[in-house]
Chains A and B, each alone.
Chain A
Amino acid sequence: MHVEQISVFIENKFGRLAEVTRTLGDAGVNIRTLSLADTSDFGILRLIVNDTERAKTVLKEKGFTVSKTEVVAVEIPDRPGGLADVLQALDADGINVEYMYAFVERSEENAVMIFRFDETEKAISTLTGKNFTVLPGDRLYSM
């Protein structure tokens, strides 16, 4: 049920983000979704791609610091309060969201959110227990 995400350390310097995306493009890696968290000195680019291993290899070859993290993709009913319901369920079980961002594609009638939890397994069982749909990585990479 896990989704692989790669994170890249990027200095806040002109052209670095372009360099990452160009490197992936040249290697034929397709970015499925991304989010960028930044401070004044540096940023962390988080990516879900169609070929995690290849992305990691080519970025490392270019000298980037890359790590792989397991995140969780959850279908969110596309209606007012949809996200609130999911967060409330997590909150009720004391599960902390480290960060989250939206996936660009829809899954049927639902939006998809990517979550990073401190306790991934527990979060998945809470969500599935409350009948939310957790999407497997393979599904996302090829969506």
Chain B
Amino acid sequence: MFFNEDFETLPREAIRALQLKRLKSLVARVYSNVPFYRQSLDKAGITPDSIKSLEDLQRIPFTYKQDMRDSYPYNLFAAPMEDIVRIHASSGTTGKPTVVGYTKHDIETWSELMARSFAAAGVHKGDIIHNSYGYGLFTGGLGAHYGAERLGASVIPMSGGNTKKQIMIMQDFGSTVLTCTPSYSLFMAEAAKEDGIDFRDLKLRVGIFGAEPWSEEMRGDIESKLNLSAVDIYGLSEIMGPGVAIECHEAKKGLHIWEDHFIAEIINPETGAVLGEGELGELVITTITKEGIPLLRYRTRDITSISYEPCVCGRTHARIARMSGRSDDMLIIRGVNVFPSQIETVLMGVDGVEPHYLLIVDRKGNLDTLEVQVEVNEKLFSDEIKHLQALSGKIEKQIKEMLGVTCHVRLVEPKSIARSEGKAKRVIDKRKG
């Protein structure tokens, strides 16, 4: 089911024509309204008139998260403050938060794209959307909220936390759709089970999970424990919030990125060169319709690939692959690139292993070490040491085979790895700081 069929099924040539038209107008707008962009475009020898084709985009300099920090709070805004109706910000865990402003029109666009995303996930009017993304400065809660209302579904503005109450509300209100981070969905299922509540008895049908990378194996686990169809949603506050891209429930193979509003490129994170279809690299997004804080070639740090292959759902918008990690989350262990999601894939392939794990990277002498902490539940536990050692040895061997990295698997007590109501913390890198 489509929310805006005309745009969602635009022929590719029409998408490209629209993108070019909007790109030209964007460059003209930021050139005259944002001193940062005027300077960077001047430096690159680009004037608004020099954008003749979509390929010209590749000559435009990148925008980095640091540029947003340096512009804290409002210096990248392209619209006057009197037109800004909403301000969000990133969590700022790695420095000053990045601040984003939305005009009324931006909020409308966001709501529409989020409504399109819900529809693509198989959500419709009459659904009861249990929204456990955090409300506040974080874009997740309000982004999903406005999209749900635009779609015409009923939305329960739960926000994160207070898990027991979340479960009670889901039971009593008959929620049919759950939106939260994938790790929180499993945390809720675990908490429910402890209280003797089986998620399979709830009315949930669709789960829309994002805000952190997760694996195909984790999808399988979530779908069986929560008895729903789980789709991956992508977004980031710098670009808009949730709803930049989403999987359709028909294919669940890559996330459609709404190309009438965003131009997506995949680049080599080291060289900045634009990569071809199917090649793995960093996602770069240009926001071609945003008014409050439009961005040219924003470096998302998210690692993915892009495909223009037609999709069974009928949408013509390109698909980006499930995020394999962030270029800044990528661990380099003894020279090998490792994403936490790859280790997750191995762990979830071992029968009985819980999706709660922690990677501890350290350096002993000149050698990097990787410890993988895995919780022992009743299914894995044995009264014989040799069985537990065989289990940890098996995981170590599989990680070595898949990633070429030697690690030490440490079996830990259940619940000893911190649970998160937001984004899960998967890595402690003791080599830093």
Contact = CB atoms under 8 A, between A and B. Distances in A.
B388 interface: yes
Interface in A87-121: 98-99, 116
A75 B416 CA distance: 40
Nearest to B386: A98
Of the candidates A9, A66, A98, the one having the most CB atoms from chain B within 10 angstroms of its own CB is A9
Interface residues of A, number: 21
A65 B384 contact: no
A65 B377 contact: yes
B191 to A, nearest CB: 13
B412 interface: yes
A99 B378 contact: no
Interface string B380-421: 011111001100100000000000000000111111100000
A41 B382 contact: no
B376 interface: yes
B34 to A, nearest CB: 53
Interface in A57-81: 63-67, 69
A67 to B, nearest CB: 5
Contact of B413 (A7, A64, A69, A98): A64
A42 B411 contact: yes
Interface string B335-363: 00000000000000000000000000000
A116 B383 CA distance: 10
B381 A67 contact: yes
A98 to B, nearest CB: 6
B249 to A, nearest CB: 37
Contacts of A42: 376, 388, 410-412
A69 B383 CA distance: 7
Given A11-B412, A64-B413, A69-B383, A44 B378 contact: no
Given A11-B416, A65-B377, A46 B410 contact: no
- A interface SS class: strand
- B interface SS class: loop
Nearest to A38: B385
Given A7-B381, A63-B415, A69-B383, A44 B388 contact: yes
A142 interface: no
A63 B414 contact: yes
A18 to B, nearest CB: 14
Contacts of B389: 39
A133 to B, nearest CB: 24
Contacts of B410: 41-42
Contacts of B411: 9, 11, 41-42
Of the candidates A10, A39, A46, the one having the most CB atoms from chain B within 10 angstroms of its own CB is A39
B383 A7 contact: yes
Contact of B378 (A5, A66, A69): A66
Given A42-B388, A116-B383, A11 B378 contact: no
A63 B378 contact: no
A84 interface: no
Contacts of A9: 376, 381, 411, 413
A65 B392 CA distance: 17
Contacts of B376: 9, 42, 65
A11 B384 CA distance: 15
A137 to B, nearest CB: 16
B413 A37 contact: no
Interface string B265-293: 00000000000000000000000000000
Contacts of A65: 376-378, 381, 413-414
8 contacts: A5-B383, A9-B381, A9-B411, A41-B410, A44-B383, A44-B388, A63-B413, A116-B383
Given A41-B410, A42-B412, A69-B383, 12 more contacts: A7-B382, A7-B383, A9-B381, A10-B413, A11-B412, A39-B388, A41-B392, A65-B376, A65-B378, A66-B381, A98-B384, A99-B384
* In the complex, the 8 A-B pairs of residues with the closest C-beta atoms, listed nearest first: A7-B383, A69-B383, A65-B381, A41-B410, A11-B413, A9-B376, A37-B385, A63-B415
Interface of A: 5, 7, 9-11, 16, 37, 39, 41-42, 44, 46, 63-67, 69, 98-99, 116
